[in-house]
Amino acid sequence: MSSPAFTMAIRFMEDEPEAAARKLELEDPHSVSQLLQKMPGSTVKGVLRRMLPASSASIVYYLDNDFAADLFNQMSMADVVSILRHLSAEEREVLILKLPAKKQAACNILLHYPEYSVGAWVETDLLVLDELMHVDEALSRLKKKVFVETHDIYVVNRNRQVVGSLSIYALLRSPGTTLVRSVMRQDIAVVSALSDLKSALALPAWQFRDTLPVVSRHQEFIGILHHHIVRKAISQMRSESTGAAYVPTDIIAAYGASFFGIIDTFFQTKSEKTRRN
């Protein structure tokens, strides 16, 4: 499927993933999965993460497992876990086993936290530094892998407790032989993984930071919580009880309804094939 209309549909999904998500939530999940598998994974990822988790899960259920696992590898842990929660234990296990070992472990840990808690929405794909590392070692680790989040780099002690944070710029400006703890910021506020999302959203620390470190009941560092993820999670839980959002008409007009036309045509064709069979 490579018609100009289909190309426009992909462009629409990339530019307006929210509107595309709302439209696809209304369609048959099996048919949606067949359509999405014809599209680039980077495009599909952006739409799936904006759907209600239950809707995303109903589509992921029909996706090829390798395709789904590849999507999960491109998504944040918070988004992955929110989708996995809506699959059966057997389906979750199949997909988790296709992920890298580190991501498997993170999934299994985060799935144990209730959906309304901070722990369920933690991002774990981070560069974490030991306070006794030297700057040159920290930079070497940064170069070896692409991390989801590098704006705030958190520093832990030997007991995995958060003792500070720093930026990439602080590392780049410091001599290679300098200890990380010498350039980090201290007095970092943390949030418990067991806290409920509404309480977390009310924390005054958000006035100064976009992320907060999340700790277990033993004060061990688990990952970070994004402010926008807290708001998204609370909004999703509200939406699950009120239904999908309306797609603005100005967005439809801007794209000449190409996306909606190709979607409607695709699903109509699928329906006709089903009736003939």
Q: What is the pLDDT of residues 38-88, one digit of tens each?
A: 899 999 999 998 888 889 999 999 999 999 999 999 998 888 999 999 999
Query: pTM here?
Result: 0.70
The answer to whether residue 131 scores a pLDDT higher than 60 is: yes
The answer to whether residue 266 scores a pLDDT higher than 70 is: no
* 217/261: higher pLDDT: 217
Instruction: Return the pLDDT at 202.
Output: 94
Instruction: Return the pLDDT at 100.
Output: 92
As a whole number, mean pLDDT of residues 150-171 equals 89
**Whole-angstrom distance, CA of residue 31 vs CA of residue 266:** 8
CATH numbers and ranges of domains, the chain: 4-112+256-276 (1.25.60), 121-232 (3.10.580.10)
The answer to whether residue 21 scores a pLDDT higher than 90 is: no
* Distances 30 to 1, 36, 147, 235 between C-alpha atoms, Å: 18, 10, 32, 26
Instruction: Return the pLDDT at 250.
Output: 55
Instruction: Return the pLDDT at 4.
Output: 75
The answer to whether residue 247 scores a pLDDT higher than 60 is: no
Instruction: Return the pLDDT at 29.
Output: 92
Per DSSP, the chain holds a count of helices (H) and strands (E) of 16, 6
> Model confidence over 76-113: pLDDT tens digits?
888 899 999 999 999 999 999 999 998 899 899 899 99
Name the token pair of 108: 């299994």
Q: Is 126 in contact with 211 (CB distance < 8 Å)?
A: no
- Residue 179, SS3? strand
Buried b (16+ CB within 10 A) or exposed e, 11-21: ebbeebbebbb
Three-state SS across 21-49? Answer: HHHHCCCCHHHHHHHHCCCCHHHHHHHHC
Q: What is the C-alpha radius of gyration for the chain, rounded to an integer number of angstroms?
A: 21
The helix (H) or strand (E) run that includes residue 107 is helix 101-110
**How many CB atoms within 10 Å of residue 149?**
18
Pick from 150, 159, 172: nearest CA to 132: 159
